[in-house]
Amino acid sequence: MSSSATQVFEIAVNLDDVSGEVLGAALESLLADGALDVWTSAIGMKKNRPGVMLSLLCKPEDRDRLTRRVMELTGSFGVRYRAWDRLVLERTEATTQTPYGPVRLKVGSLDGRVVTVKPEFEDMRTAAESHGVPLRKVLACVRQRSGE
Amino acid sequence: MSSSATQVFEIAVNLDDVSGEVLGAALESLLADGALDVWTSAIGMKKNRPGVMLSLLCKPEDRDRLTRRVMELTGSFGVRYRAWDRLVLERTEATTQTPYGPVRLKVGSLDGRVVTVKPEFEDMRTAAESHGVPLRKVLACVRQRSGE
Amino acid sequence: MSSSATQVFEIAVNLDDVSGEVLGAALESLLADGALDVWTSAIGMKKNRPGVMLSLLCKPEDRDRLTRRVMELTGSFGVRYRAWDRLVLERTEATTQTPYGPVRLKVGSLDGRVVTVKPEFEDMRTAAESHGVPLRKVLACVRQRSGE
Amino acid sequence: MSSSATQVFEIAVNLDDVSGEVLGAALESLLADGALDVWTSAIGMKKNRPGVMLSLLCKPEDRDRLTRRVMELTGSFGVRYRAWDRLVLERTEATTQTPYGPVRLKVGSLDGRVVTVKPEFEDMRTAAESHGVPLRKVLACVRQRSGE
Amino acid sequence: MSSSATQVFEIAVNLDDVSGEVLGAALESLLADGALDVWTSAIGMKKNRPGVMLSLLCKPEDRDRLTRRVMELTGSFGVRYRAWDRLVLERTEATTQTPYGPVRLKVGSLDGRVVTVKPEFEDMRTAAESHGVPLRKVLACVRQRSGE
Amino acid sequence: MSSSATQVFEIAVNLDDVSGEVLGAALESLLADGALDVWTSAIGMKKNRPGVMLSLLCKPEDRDRLTRRVMELTGSFGVRYRAWDRLVLERTEATTQTPYGPVRLKVGSLDGRVVTVKPEFEDMRTAAESHGVPLRKVLACVRQRSGE
C-alpha cells in the first residue's frame, strides 16, 4: 500500500478473574517489555461479570515472547493473537520554543506531505509542572507555534 | 411532584481490587438481598487501573443493611450512599396470548394514561425455549398483540 | 461558593429494554426539549444484560416536565432525579479570523480571570466543510489565534 | 460459506490526543466517505489516559483511500487494517402502513427463509415527528404489522 | 509456536436495534450452543446511538453454524468472522480442601512449568452459599492452600 | 448510621473537548492536590461524540478549591458537585512476611469485626519487581498469610 506499510501483531485475552490493580501493573510491564501499545477494554461476560479485554500491539519478532508474558502476568489459560497490516507516517523531529521552555515535536508525513505534528507529552508535562500551569495551557502554546 | 413520587437510595463503591468473577456473584447476591436494581460501570482509575463502580438502588429502610452487605461482598474500606427522588408509574397486570403460550404484561400509567406496556421477560424466555425460537420472535408476537 | 453558583437537576434512568436506535433519537429529542446536557453510559445489568443509563441535566423549572418526557421516550416504569450545585464561568463572546473564515469564541472567566476560550464547534465545522480540510486543522488555526 | 459470503476490511486506530468533538465529526465524515460502518470504543491507555478506538468497516476497494482518510481526520501516526469474512442476508424491500404513515421495511433472508424484518429508521423518525409521538410508538405499530 | 497452539474463530456483529434484555439471552444461548466464550462491548455508533458489539470465540468446525445462530438471535443483516491463533496452557485437575468444603482446581502449565492455578467458580459459589459467607472469603481460603 | 459515617463531596464534569492525554495528567494532578479518589467514565454525548465524565471524591473542606482546580485543568464552563454520606471501616495496620519481602496490610473492621485485609500495592509491586515475579504471585503469597 506504501513503502511505509508494515505488519504488527495484536495479542488479546479476555479476563474475569484478575483485578484492576493487577491489570494496571500488567499494562505497565508489557510496555516496558517492548509492546508498541497496550490497552484495556471493558466487556460484559457470562454470569454478569464485568470483564476486561487486555490487548497489545507488537512487532512480529516479539509475538511469541509477549504472548507468554501475557500468560504469566494474567494467569490466563488461553491467549490469542493475529496479524494486522499497518500504514505508518514517515517521522521527523523538530523543536518549538514556548514561554515554558522547549518542546520537541514529532512531524508525520505521508507521500512527502506533512499530515500531523505531535508535541512530546513528557516535555509538555515537565514544562507545565515546572511553571505551575495546567498542561492544556502548554499544549495551546505549542499549537500556536506548530500550527497543530 | 405526583402521588407516585417516592424516594430511593443509591449505594455506590469504586473497586480496583476485586475481579469480575466476584463482582458478578455480588450483583446476584445484592438483588437476592432486596436491592431494587444493581449495576456495574467501567471506570478508569489511578495507576492505569480498569476499575468498576458497583451501584445499587434500594428502599430507604434497606439502606444501612445493604451498605454493610456491599462492604462484606467487596471488601471495600468505604461505601457511599445518597438519596434520589423517583417518579414511578402506576402498574396494572394483564396477559396476552401468543402462538408460544401466554405472556404476562406490566401496564404502566401516568396520570391515568397508559405510557408503557412491558412483557414479563421470564414468560417470554420460557415460551422461546419451549418452542425453540429466538426470544426476539416471541417479543415480536407480544408486541403485535400489546401494541408495544 | 460564588455569584456564579447555580443549581441543576440530574434525571437518570437505567434501561435494558430499549435499543440504541431509540436511545439516539431520545437523546436528540431531550436536547430539543430544553435539557442542558444529555448523555448515555454503558452499564452491566442482571441476567448478562448490556444496559444503558440515560442521564440529563436541566434547570429546576424543567425538572418535572423532562422527567415525564424521559418516561414517554423510553417507556421506563421509574425515573429518578436529584439536585447538584454547579459552578459556572462568566461568559463573554469574541470572534477570531482564520484562513477558513471567522470563528466565534466563548471566553470563560472565574473571579475576573480568563480560564478558558472555546471555539464554536459549528463555525469550525462549517469552515472545515467549505474548505475541504479536516476539522482539527481549523481547530489548530483557532488555537494559534486564541491561545487555546 | 454461502453465495452471500463477502469480504470486508476493518480499519482501526487507538487515539489519546483527539477530543470527542473532533471524533464525532470524523465519524460522520467517514460515513459520508463511503465506510459501511464506523464506531468508537472506550479504551484505557498508558498514563491513565481514557482513550478511544475508532474503527470502521469498508469494501476492499475503499481500504487504501479510507486508511489515509482516517490519518488525515485524526492525525494518527499509525493506522491498522485487516480483512474479515462476512455473511450477509439477501435483502428485499417492502412497505407497511401505520396510523402515522407508510414505513419501508428491509426483509432479510438466509437460504430462502426470512430471518429478519427491519423498518427504515428515518421513515419512523419522520412519522414520529410529524405526529408528535415517541419513536418507540411508531416502532411498536410497525412491529404489529410486520411481525418483528 | 508450541504443541499447544490452536486456531479459533471470532464471530462479531455491531447492533443498534436490539435491547440489552434480548442480548443477555443471546449471550446465554450462544454459550449453550457451544461457543468457547461470548462477550459484549459498548460502542458508539452513528446518530448518537449507544450500540453493542456482540462477539464470540468458537472452534473452526462450529463457525458456520454459530454465524447463522448469531443472525437468528440478533436479526442482523451482516455478521463477520475471522481466525485467530491461540496459545493454550496444558491443563490438569486438582482439588483443595477448605473449611467450606472441597474446591476443584484447574492447573495450567506451559512447557512443563505451572503458570496458573484456577479454582472452579461454581464450587466456590456452592461453598459460599451453603455456609453463608461472601464468595471472596472462599476464594481467599483457596488461595491460602493453592498458592494462587 | 455509625460512628464511622462521614460526608464526602463528588465533583463531576462532562467533557467532549479535552483529549485523553490531558485527562490522564489531570487525574494525576487532582490526586496530588488532595482528592480522595479520581476516575473517568466513558459517556456518549450529542453529535456522536465519545465523551468522558471526570469525577472525584473529596473532603468537604476541599470542595471549593478542587472545583476551581477541575475548571483550570479541563477548561470546562461548568462543574457540578454534591454531597454523599459514606460508611468507612476502622483501619489498623499490620505487616506480613513473604518470600519476596515484607508487605504492609490495611485491616478494616466494622463494629469491631474484621471485614477485610488489603495489602499495600506499592509494597507488592516493589517486591515483584525486585524478584522478577508477576505481581499476582506476590498477591497470592500475601493472601496465603493474611487470609485474604
Taking residues E84-94, what's their average pLDDT? 96
Contact D46 B48 (CB under 8 A): yes
Label residue D101 left, alpha or beta by phi (over 0 means left) and psi (-120 to 50 means alpha). left
Euclidean distance between CA atoms E106 and E122, whole angstroms? 13
Structure confidence at residue D141 (pLDDT): 87
CB contact under 8 A, C48 and A50: no
C26-44: per-residue pLDDT in tens? Answer: 999 999 999 999 999 999 9
Tens digits of per-residue pLDDT, D4-56?
679 999 999 999 999 999 999 999 999 999 999 999 999 999 999 999 999 99
Cell of E137: 472469603
- Is the pLDDT at B79 greater than 70, yes or no? yes
- How many whole angstroms separate alpha carbon E22 and alpha carbon E40? 12
Percent of chain E exceeding pLDDT 70 equals 95
pLDDT at D18: 96
Query: Which position has the grid cell 497496550?
Result: A38
pLDDT at B6 over 60: yes
**Structure-block grid coordinates of residue F119:** 495489602
Phi, psi of E143 (to 5 degrees): -65, -35
For chain A, give the mean pLDDT.
93
- Integer-rounded Cα Rg, in Å, for chain B is 19
Cell numbers for D147, please give them.
411481525
* Interface probe with F: pick from A18, A21, A72, A137, most Cβ of F within 10 Å: A21
Residue A144's pLDDT is what?
74
Q: Which amino acid, one-letter code, is at D35?
A: A
pTM of structure = 0.95
- Is residue D2 predicted with pLDDT exceeding 60? no
pLDDT tens across E64-79, in order? Answer: 999 999 999 999 999 9
| Beta carbons of F56 and F40 less than 8 angstroms apart | no
Interchain proximity C88–F77, CB inside 8 Å: yes
Average pLDDT rounded to a whole number, residues A66-79: 96
Tell me what pLDDT residue A143 has: 81
**F13 contacts: CB under 8 Å, gap ≥ 6:** F53, F54, F70, F74, F76, F78, F79, F80
CB contact under 8 Å between A52 and B24, yes or no, is no
Q: What is the pLDDT of residue E148?
A: 59
Residue A120 reports pLDDT greater than 80: yes
- Three-state secondary structure of chain C: CCCCEEEEEEEEEEECCCCHHHHHHHHHHHHHCCCCEEEEEEEEECCCEEEEEEEEEECHHHHHHHHHHHHHHHCCCEEEEEEEEEEECEEEEEEEEECCEEEEEEEEEECCEEEEEEECHHHHHHHHHHHCCCHHHHHHHHHHHHCC
Mean pLDDT, rounded, of chain F: 93
Instruction: Say if residue A3's pLDDT is above 60.
Output: no
- Residue B1 in this model has a pLDDT that exceeds 60: no
The SS3 of residue F22 is helix
Cell of F110: 466494622
In which band, very low, low, confident or very high, does the pLDDT at C90 lie, cut at 50, 70 and 90? very high
pLDDT class of B147 with cuts at 50, 70, 90: low
Query: Span E140-148, mean pLDDT?
Result: 75
pLDDT number for residue D46: 98
E16 touches chain C (CB under 8 A): yes
Q: Which pLDDT score, from 0 to 100, does residue A5 have? A: 74
User: CB distance from E20 to chain C under 8 Å?
Assistant: yes
Helix (H) or strand (E) holding E91: strand E90-98
Choose among A8, A27, A40: nearest Cβ to D80.
Answer: A8
B117 touches chain E (CB under 8 A): no
The residue written with cell numbers 482501526 in the block is D12
Residue D7 has a CB neighbour count (10 Å cut-off) of: 12
Task: Provide the percentage of residues in chain D whose pLDDT is more than 90.
Answer: 86
- What is the residue-wise DSSP string for chain B? --TTEEEEEEEEEEESSS-HHHHHHHHHHHHHTT-SEEEEEEEEETTTEEEEEEEEEE-GGGHHHHHHHHHHHH--SEEEEEEEEEEE-EEEEEEEEETTEEEEEEEEEETTEEEEEEE-HHHHHHHHHHHT--HHHHHHHHHHHH--
The nearest alpha carbon in chain E to D83 belongs to: E82
E108 touches E117 (CB < 8 A): yes
Interchain proximity A78–E91, CB inside 8 Å:
no
Is some CB atom of chain B closer than 8 A to the CB atom of F57?
A: yes
Q: Do F53 and C42 touch (CB under 8 A)?
A: no
Q: Contact A87/D75, CB-based, under 8 Å?
A: no
Per-residue pLDDT tens digits for C104-133: 999 999 989 999 999 999 999 999 999 999
Residue F148's pLDDT band (boundaries 50, 70, 90)?
low
Confidence band (pLDDT; 50, 70, 90) for F2? very low
- Length of chain C, in residues: 148
Per-residue pLDDT tens over the stretch A34-52: 999 999 999 999 999 999 9
Here the ipTM equals: 0.92
pLDDT at site A145 = 73
pLDDT higher than threshold 90 for residue B39: yes
- Facing residues of A55 across strands? A12, A39
Cβ within 8 Å of residue C57, ≥6 positions away: C8, C9, C10, C35, C36, C37, C84, F80
Burial class (CB in 10 A: 0-12, 13-18, 19+), E124: buried
Ramachandran region, residue A132 (left: φ > 0; alpha: ψ -120 to 50; beta: rest): left
Which residues 6+ apart lie within 8 Å of E62 measured at CB? E9, E34, E35
pLDDT at E32: 97
Tell me the shortest Cα–Cα distance from F100 to chain E, in angstroms.
14
Chain E residue numbers touching A44 (CB-CB < 8 A)? 27, 39-41
CA angle A42, A47, A48 (to 5 degrees): 45
**In the predicted structure, residue F3 carries a pLDDT above the cut 50:** no
Residue among E25, E135, E139 minimizing CB distance to B125:
E25
pLDDT in tens, C59-72: 999 999 999 999 99
